[in-house]
Amino acid sequence: MGFYELKVRICENAQIQAAFKIGRGTLPDVPDTLSLDARHFILTCLKVNPEERPTAAELLHHPFVINL
């Protein structure tokens, strides 16, 4: 297995792990290297209960999107 294939597998595993965590109501780790607005945006989008998630229209007004 080459480096690229290993890198792709690691990335796929991370995505699968994140999906399982979200499904169980646990949020995946969000890197501290991101801005606070970016971290808040990601965590807001990953809420398990759809009633708690903002709509796409509401997300357009999030500071992370506005400041892009």
Q: How many domains does the chain have?
A: 1
Q: pTM for the whole thing?
A: 0.69
Buried b (16+ CB within 10 A) or exposed e, 52-66: eeeeeeeeeebebee
Domain span at 33: 3-66
User: Residues with Cβ < 8 Å from 42, sequence gap 6 or more?
Assistant: 30, 34
pLDDT, tens digit (0-9, with 9 covering 90-100), for 15-68: 777 777 777 777 778 888 999 999 999 999 988 888 999 999 999 999 999 998
